Structure 1
């Protein structure tokens, strides 16, 4: 394991304490803070670009989710793909949370973070044979299969090691949720899951396979789904399939309805409270007599982090349009370019005046922006901006495009600030290449 570094900023705690109880990221004396720590101090210490994550926020969100579904026998598995930093995974593991992984690399990360393999489920539409073998060798709770061919491969690999693999089959409920088309996963035209029309063939194959045991049903209809009724419709479909499967003699222990619960990125579009989803789903799920699995990812981590970036240059074109050119870009946070996603951008030092500007990065692509035509504080060159809600699908999707170095990451835990990922070096950029 890597060496970890701790820093203390006790001199700033009292200044921010008055408002840190109300919200994790907040202004105190015109300076943006994270759980009592001034973000400008963190930038001065660790440099920019820099991901800053609040451990308190991670714990609060997990407890909020567990409280909402406390009336239902369930098991929560953090979806590692949202943010796979070892310290983030470890935080949830210490709270009793399991993990949902989608590759051998994510499984390795979860195990290295201390999560018990019996609390890990292995998903993914395209698992390689060596990944399946690694999962079985590690002793994961179960594999989620998404095709007839995959079931046959799992059976073959389990037979080679003399094991019986526990599997769930992912059913495509053909429910099209109102979200971005790139994060819709429950529509039959997408690559995910097994169509309901194939169910009989799947069950026939499962009855013949000697080294696979069907233990669960699974679905996932997408991400950022604000209306609980989409979950209700999909759950009703999956419950009907559960009855069909049980009628054919299969003992189903787990009923996995995935994740996708919404978070607030834009204050003008507040996310539906998780309690409203629980109110709709618990009465449907409790009578089924199975353990329900949830796979929240974005819900737990999105608003726990910000991306700190420094203004390199300000410029104005011939039309009067203004640009803030910053030292972070789509290589650190690709969501605005990929999904046209909204992220609030705040000046770390608050100003009385504001301007309308584009906040853009240094990468050689026109899609390299965080905000367009956005009203933002009139900050000067050299000052800091915070790209909010950067905890999910940010660092995990980062790249070295343009030869850029992946940024450092810190975890704020009250008075302690822990460096949980060091900044990449030029040497690391080429360490795997051969001349």
Structure 2
């Protein structure tokens, strides 16, 4: 998809004609061997994360005017099933492991086609033939690209809030959700860097070992009164499970629907048993004030839930592939994939900047009001068009800068 950002601007056209041309350009630029079903899974995972964060990230105003972090799930537990729908990080790690492994496998037709298209644009050898060190450097540089602008923007916002003499607690409450996605990126970069090593071993065995580590940490943590810091071992081990399953899929595992159904059934059964029989939280996202979070870091229940999601993803991959034959739908998915990391890192900024702008108006429903009534959810949904518009502006700014840099690089 890289060549889509290098086209010279076309003359002005009518809106329908421009949209049609845009769709046709993306369709013609897509390699025939591109796995559109996998791209659709990644787009759905990003959509779930964005919508989920926009639904559960909340603030409340204290009588003093200070802002503190809240959660609708701590006040409205009947909405807990929403976390089962929108907590889709395991799918993102699964697809990430699959894509990384495919790009390193020289026998992969998909990887070869995609790498050849990329190499034509960037004058690099195909990914599968690069030395592991070069592959890791290129891959991590691409992932880390959007981080510096995000940090610079938030350094400016924090400085502005400090100049306005906002309390430290308010600044912290408004900043943490915005920079929170960086923890995900750090883990994802670490797993990406470990991909060559992962492929030298057996990914399925690695996934099993990582799952055993999560189990052991939970046992020590919850039943043996182990040290609190030990739980952070699960931050890598927990997400290594779906990532390694993705690498195993790239190596030919889970070729049958029976295997996918087994993952779905086994993961679901494990999560249900842990929640119903062992007291794990039902919510698959963190809840303000809760003693235990399934997500920070991942617990065994979250890992089982992720395995179930992997099974479901495998089952719907073929129907999604057929659906992606529609050029218009594929164009949207392709753009979402090309901007996946930008969308992920900046979506909470769109929400938080909106909340900061609303501070002068006080207890704004759906933004700065306590999420303790069902109507709050409707108020928050009413803000979604604003958040989407702001995220689109951010995306267009990043995209325009990328095109400018590409032109400068190509003319140098």
Q: Report the TM-score, using the length of structure 1 for normalisation.
A: 0.27
Bigger radius of gyration among the two: 1
Q: Report the TM-score, using the length of structure 2 for normalisation.
A: 0.28
Greater helix content: 2
Higher relative contact order (CA 8 A, sep 6+): 2
Greater strand content: 1
